[in-house]
Amino acid sequence: MYTYNNNYYTATMNDTAERAALSGNVQADVCVIGAGLAGLSTAWELVSRGKSVVLLEAGRVAWGASGRNGGFVLQGWSEGLSSIERRCGKATAAALFKLSLEGVDTVRDMIARHQLPGCSPTPGKLSVVRYEDGDNLKRLRDRMATDFDFHLDYLDRQAVREKLKTERYFQALRDTHGFHFHPLNYCLGLGRLIERNGAKIYEQSPMTRVESRNGRHRVITDRGTVDCANAVYCCGGYGGPPFAKLRRASLPIAPYAVLTEHLGERLADAVGTTDAVGDNRRASDYYRIVEGDRLLWGGRITTRNLQDEKRLGQLLTEDILDVYPQLRGIKIEKAWSGLMGYARHKMPHIGPLGKGLWACTSFGGHGMNTAPIGGRVIAEAICGETNRYRLFDAYGLEWNGGPLGPAAAQTVYAGLKMMDKFQETRSQYRASQKN
């Protein structure tokens, strides 16, 4: 049965209590399937509106991607704004961007309002480029301010290297609206809050099928059933055969992550900011400081869910030293990977699957802000408040390519990495010619 793996977040989690599995028949207005961030957020938005909710989880609360990711809560979606504009038009793109900001604010406000313990929200994120690109960054900064009323700070090469002691980075944009935090403790705190407000959460209760009749649904597990008017699918990259329709529209993508030893004064020789950091490559490095002097470092997006901790540590140590060779000899204390669900269009699946059946899933690598707002949008629809879910009409269940889908995705990523390398090499050559 699915359970927590050995990572930084589980080593520092606030709540380890196990919940009982579903047994017998229960009734609810809504059954939410999957207790990751999307499911927890959906359940919270529903109970806050007076709905009775049962939340089913195949493993433990937030044991998957929701509880083992980089911990970045930032504006935007996995798909870029320019691509969203081309597909949906400028007005819809602007509305979707506003939703993403609402998601960031939602998480921040939940932590503060309900005093969720152990979340450690820390403001700021630096988006750095690995080749000379200052003019384009300034244009992006100006466009975000003009078209989306969103303000980013521009940092030139010198300012970047005062914060990040590496020759790999050039310019950067700083997001002061976003933050980074402990995602597992947030989810665990949200779970307890949901229960205090009347919802029921059952762990170790994988759904086997859903039977629909006369406008009602019966969600069936190995040992029990839930009768409900609405069911919301919030599964992620681990969704199995019972989630057939969603499974065929989602690719399981596995990022890798490590936690370094305590670096003490050595850390200041490399990283001089509490901002989270991510670079502009397609399969980027992303990292942040935790516990004052450790690096939590992630990257290497792949379709291979590697579970060999020693090998994961070796791979990401190479990435760390590529950026910060002054940290040679660094030791890795924990290494882990996990699966997240990506749609081919890189946007989530949010909306109806049938009468009283809803999807709120496939948030890709940008779920810490978008899953909470996805849950709100679905709750609004179920309660008849808004039809904001229609903003996602252009992003339906596109076939993932079947058995060839993961291989195709891996091939695409390999090609993108080659493009990244070419751009970096060209930039380095041009810089050497100027000197």
* pLDDT in the model for residue 2: 81
- Does any domain span residue 31? yes
Which 8-state DSSP code applies to residue 166? -
pTM: 0.93
- Does any domain span residue 68? yes
- Greatest Cα pair distance in the chain: 75
- Does any domain span residue 3? no
- Does any domain span residue 136? yes
Q: Is the dihedral of CA 129, 131, 132, 133 positive or negative?
A: negative
- Helix, strand, coil abundance in the chain, percent, nearest 5: 40, 25, 35
- The per-residue DSSP string of 169-180 comes to ---EEEEEEEEE
Per the CB < 8 A criterion, the answer to whether 290 and 271 are in contact is: no
- Does any domain span residue 280? yes
CATH number of the structural domain spanning residue 111: 3.50.50.60
- Does any domain span residue 416? no
Question: Mapping DSSP to helix (H, G, I), strand (E, B) and coil, where does residue 56 land?
Answer: strand
Bridge partner list, 73? 179
Structure token pair of residue 132: 């000379």
Structural domain containing residue 98: 8-392
* pLDDT in the model for residue 402: 66
Helices (H), 304-366: 309-323
- Does any domain span residue 352? yes
- Does any domain span residue 427? no
In tens digits, the chain (435 residues) has pLDDT values of 688 999 999 999 999 999 999 999 999 999 999 999 999 999 999 999 999 999 999 999 999 999 999 999 999 999 999 999 999 999 999 999 999 999 999 999 999 999 999 999 999 999 999 999 999 999 999 999 999 999 999 999 999 999 999 999 999 999 999 999 999 999 999 999 999 999 999 999 999 999 999 889 999 999 999 999 999 999 876 666 777 788 777 778 878 899 999 999 999 999 999 999 999 987 789 999 999 999 999 987 766 666 778 999 999 999 999 999 999 999 999 999 888 888 889 999 999 999 999 999 999 888 999 999 999 999 999 999 999 999 999 999 887 666 655 555 555 555 556 666 666 666 665 655 555
In whole angstroms, give the CA distance from residue 43 to residue 146: 36
Count the domains in the chain.
1
* pLDDT in the model for residue 284: 87
